Structure 1
């Protein structure tokens, strides 16, 4: 990767408001580069969740330009959005697992929706459950899993399609500190395989755990750049326990 390499996501003077209220995001501009790890932080109400919704295409901005994977997504026909969304993995704070499905079937869901035949589903799902340390819980339903286990299933489901971009909204908010570190290690490992990772968090202690990670800080809907996240960064070091 070189300093002139194009980003996979580009925001240019993006603004977002809900209804007639004041803008929750104002003049937001940044670039996300391939293979980098970003933390998105800020006080409650700063606009983190709204920015993530724009990143995983659940919301369109009121103004500005957004390009993803080389395409203007604001003018993109809705018929093409599902294909774009398959390139983005999303992890929510509240997990959003399907309650009547086993851990295996929750992780397999994106592959089945994409039309993969059943014979081809089993190995990647089994490998992914092993990767998150839950191969022994493949048949368990969400209600029988701990909070940390549910979050790991959610992560496995988000990355089973090998997304180019992973967006995680407060993924450690419902787990204890030890589990938070384990989850962060999973994100770090995925990032080292080439996925660009964006983790929204209010936990300032996590920001020091991924050396040379890039911090994007929101304050009342405006973005600051304390670690150079808006320009191309150096390669990261090793994960810190």
Structure 2
């Protein structure tokens, strides 16, 4: 089954259960389009993190179909997953920075894992740290960074390889309101460069901060559609040039 024309991700009647427990996600169907901005919202325990784990390919569903980048990922051999995951950037609420590495080396890590030559790493990493406002903290280790600084390093690491999709799980949950808005502006800028952005949040105040964003709402493992995100291709933002565009 092929997805809607121009789509980047398609979920069709996806269900997820852990072990023999009841399903934590039931009959999940939606389509994501390139260059669009989505909020995934819902109360604590609604299933947001489980849905994101399916999106960044950390989990396989119990049933249903998932297509990404034109391929069926359910039947994709395990050896094919790393190439797909490199097309997806992930920002975690708890940062997950490598504690013994500097900010620079944390951001450089995806490039080094992909075996990019060292001569081609310094400038893009420096540009990325400048983009998130942390050039002056390039040599700092995570323990010496504030929560907002750690989250900005995590964002820089997630997007250094220019992913087609960015998935962020409660990215403002461990920072204050003002820093949360600054992080949201970074996601908007990345979106205007053409990346599809999916931000999971329980903060309803954030939902009105991004013009033209679409909202998918989870309630007890089922998805609802208050802005038509599941039915209609969204209007795509105009591309802009940026620090790494």
Paired residue for 1:217? 217
Alignment RMSD (CA, Å): 1.0
Paired residue for 2:107? 107
Question: Secondary structure in 1 aligned to 2:205?
Answer: helix
1: CA distance, partners of 2:106 / 2:6: 34
Runs of 4 or more consecutive aligned structure 1 residues displaced over 4 Å after TM superposition: none
Q: Is the contact between residue 38 and residue 199 of structure 1 (CA under 8 Å) also seen in structure 2?
A: yes
Q: Is the contact between residue 192 and residue 237 of structure 2 (CA under 8 Å) also seen in structure 1?
A: no
Paired residue for 2:147? 147
2: CA distance, partners of 1:84 / 1:33: 17
Q: Is the contact between residue 216 and residue 226 of structure 2 (CA under 8 Å) also seen in structure 1?
A: yes
Paired residue for 1:232? 233
Task: Give TM-score, length-normalised by structure 1.
Answer: 0.96
Structure 1 runs not aligned, ≥5 long: none
2: CA distance, partners of 1:211 / 1:205: 13
What is the Cα deviation at residue 233 of structure 1? 1.6
Task: Give TM-score, length-normalised by structure 2.
Answer: 0.94
Structure 2 runs not aligned, ≥5 long: 239-245
Q: Is the contact between residue 213 and residue 236 of structure 1 (CA under 8 Å) also seen in structure 2?
A: no
2: CA distance, partners of 1:233 / 1:121: 35
Paired residue for 1:45? 45
2: CA distance, partners of 1:100 / 1:35: 35
1: CA distance, partners of 2:167 / 2:93: 11
What is the Cα deviation at residue 37 of structure 1? 0.1
What is the Cα deviation at residue 212 of structure 1? 1.4
- Show the 5 A alignment for 1:1-241: 5-230=5-230, 231-235=232-236
2: CA distance, partners of 1:236 / 1:105: 32
1: CA distance, partners of 2:103 / 2:97: 9
Q: Is the contact between residue 164 and residue 195 of structure 1 (CA under 8 Å) also seen in structure 2?
A: yes
